[in-house]
Amino acid sequence: MAKIEDILELERIEENIFRGIATETLLPRTFGGQVAGQALVSAVRTVVPEFQVHSLHGYFLRPGDPTRGIVYQVDRIRDGRSFCTRRVTAVQGGRAIFTMSASFHDDDRGLEHQDEMPTVPEPEELPDAKTLVEQGREEFAWALHEWSNWDFRFVPPEHMVADRGVAAHQRVWFRSRATLPDDPVFHVCTLAYMSDMTLLGSAHVIHPEEKTQDASLDHAMWFLRPFRADDWLLYDQTSPSAGFGRALTQGRIYDSRGNMVAAVVQEGLTRYLRDS
């Protein structure tokens, strides 16, 4: 499979227009995280380095064709003294498949606090996807084959203490197996890519036997503190509600030292499979 450095290396076609590569995949449609990550890269390339992305909000409009590249058109909405805003439209075959707004901030000083990181086993204490598949857990084969460049360690339910009243809960450690470039912006764009991974699965943990058609519908992220995507990150995921063929999911991402580095909210399609 393609390395994340290749996935996020966009070609500049024209001022404010970029193109991302198609990547080898077993998926029938382009992975949503790839579209979001490439869109964020295109936005970053139109902003001066003094401004750092702090949030993005995206909508998945149509499924992408994984055999074709994607063109990203960036609209420079605003360049202010403290904030910049960009709007990105991802186009394939002449039609928009994804749209995203991203906000950039020139860091200020202000209030500081965060929720405490949940207590979970260390990632080295948990089996990786390869070990789980060898133990007969075929539901984890996707992580082994489609994302072999990434190490996933799922926290077993018996090692989780969920908050009272939480409907569906899942926790996953993850990191890049390879050392990534030092550029902090690269790690932010990489996390945008990875944030779509496993999140919608949190809606399925209490419906393991249900067969559904799943797809990301919208995706929002807030980048809170510096981190590296080749160090262990804990993805604390919940699904507070599901109904009418859609599931709301949310996640908080911590580094191994307990710093909350990002927050994610996503709504996804989770409708029952239709009779053919």
The helix/strand/coil state of 165 is: coil
Candidate list 34, 103, 237, 266, residue with the active-site label: 266
CA–CA–CA angle 146, 204, 140 (5° rounding): 30
Candidate list 151, 196, 230, 236, residue with the active-site label: 196
Active site residue 216: yes
The residue type of 93 is G
The long-range contacts involving 241-246, CB below 8 angstroms and separated by at least 24 positions, are 241/167, 242/167, 242/168, 242/203, 242/270, 245/269, 245/270, 245/271, 245/272, 246/217, 246/270, 246/271
Active site residue 195: no
Measured CA to CA in angstroms, residue 215 lies from 72, 114, 168, 187, 233 at distances of 21, 31, 18, 25, 24
**Unique residue bearing structure tokens 């590249």:** 69
Candidate list 42, 216, 237, 239, residue with the active-site label: 216
Active site residue 55: no
d(CA 231, CA 263) in angstroms, rounded, equals 17
| Catalytic positions | 196, 216, 266
